[in-house]
Amino acid sequence: MFQNRAEGLALALPAALFAALVFLVPVVLLLSEGFRNADQWTLSAYVDFFSQPLNRTVFLRTLKLSALVTLVAAVIGYAAAYAIVSLPPGAKGRMVGLVVLPLMISPVARTYAWIVILGRTGIINQALQAIGLTDEPIRILFSETAIFIGLLQLFLPLMIISLISALENLPRDVVPAARVLGAGWLSVFWKIILPLTKEGLVIGGTLVFTGSMTAYITPAILGGSKVLMLETLLYQQVTVSNNFVAASVIAFILIVMSFAANILLKRIASARRSGK
C-alpha cells in the first residue's frame, strides 16, 4: 500500500518546496553576496571584514564569551545534574520540570530581569553600597560580564538536562565501586564520571556554545550598543551602516558554526544508535 514512491514524494513535496523556496534560496543568495564583487568570486569581503579592529574584537569576544559560558555551564551543570540525579524519583521529576521551565519563558523577559539586578540602582549595587564596599554604583550592565551572566542563565538548563540524561545512563554502582576501591571524589570524577558522560557533555556543550554564538537578545539588552557580539554587529551593519556585504560575512560565520555543531550532534546520535 505504501509502495508508490511518487505518491510519497507528492506528500512531502509541498513542505520541501516551501523550505527550499522561502528558506534555502534567499539564504544562499545572501551568503553568496559575501563572496562576490562585481561579477567576480572573491574573498575580499572577508579580508576587509577581518582587517577592521572592531570586527576582530567582536568576533573574538563572541568566541571567548561562548567558550567561557560553555565551560562555566559545564562545571555548574555537573554539580546541579549530579545533585538532581541523586534525588528520589518524585522530587527529581519536579526538579527537572523547574529546570526546563525557564525555557518556556520568553528570553526577552528572562534577560530583562538582569537589568533590575545589575543596573545602577539594581540589587547588586544596592547591596555593595549598603555594606560599604563602594560609594559609587559600579558599572556592571552593558559589559561583557553582564552578557556572560545573561547567556549563562539562558543556556544553563540545556547543559543540565543533557548531563542529567548522561548521568542517568551511568552504569549502576560504578561510583560506589570506585569509592570502595579507594578513589577520592576528584579522581572518581576525572576517571569515572567524566569519561562515561562525555557524550552528554558534548551535546550540552554544543547546544550552549552555538546558542551563545548566535544569541541576539542577551547582547542587545545587556551589552548595549557598545559591547557587541556577532548578531548585534550584524544588526548594526544592516540598520546603521547599510552594509549588506559585512552582514553576509557574519551570516556565513554563524551558519558555518551552526552547521558544524549540528553535524557533530548527528555524529554522536548515529554513533549511539549503532551501539557505540
Partner 1 sequence: MIRRLFTPLTLFLMMLFLIGPFLIIVAASFSAGETLAFPPQGFSFRWIIKVFTIESFRQSFGVSMFLAIGGTLAALILGIPASYAMSRYRLPFAETVRFLVSMPIIVPGIIVGLALLRYFVIPVGMSVTLALFVAHTALILPYAVRVVSASLANLRADIEEAAVILGSSRLGAFFRVVLPNIRGGILSAFILGFVTSFNQVPVSLFLSGPGVRTLPIDMLGYMENVFDPSIAALSSLLAFLSIGIVFAAERFLGFSRYV
Shortest reach from residue 146's CB to partner 1, in Å = 12
DSSP state at residue 88:
-
- Cβ proximity to partner 1: between 53 and 222 the closer is 222
Shortest reach from residue 37's CB to partner 1, in Å = 17
Shortest reach from residue 19's CB to partner 1, in Å = 4
> With 0-12 CB in 10 A as exposed, 13-18 as middle and 19+ as buried, what is 69?
buried
Shortest reach from residue 149's CB to partner 1, in Å = 9
β-sheet bridge partners, residue 36: 41
DSSP state at residue 138:
P
Shortest reach from residue 8's CB to partner 1, in Å = 3
Q: Around 252, how many Cα atoms within 13 Å sit in the side-chain half-sphere?
A: 18
**Alpha carbons 236 and 27: distance in angstroms, whole number:** 19
Q: Amino acid letter at 230?
A: L
- Cβ proximity to partner 1: between 114 and 209 the closer is 114
* Contact assessment for residue 48 and residue 37, using Cβ atoms and an 8 Å cutoff: no
Shortest reach from residue 25's CB to partner 1, in Å = 8
- Cβ proximity to partner 1: between 18 and 50 the closer is 18
Measured between alpha carbons, how far is residue 194 from residues 71, 167, 256 in Å?
14, 10, 28
* Contact assessment for residue 72 and residue 151, using Cβ atoms and an 8 Å cutoff: no
Count of beta carbons in the 10 Å neighbourhood of residue 178: 18
* Contact assessment for residue 27 and residue 227, using Cβ atoms and an 8 Å cutoff: no
- Cβ proximity to partner 1: between 46 and 244 the closer is 244
Q: Three cell numbers at 152? A: 549563562
Furthest CA-CA distance within the chain: 78
- Cβ proximity to partner 1: between 5 and 53 the closer is 5
* Contact assessment for residue 109 and residue 188, using Cβ atoms and an 8 Å cutoff: no
- Cβ proximity to partner 1: between 160 and 203 the closer is 160
- Cβ proximity to partner 1: between 53 and 239 the closer is 239
Shortest reach from residue 38's CB to partner 1, in Å = 18
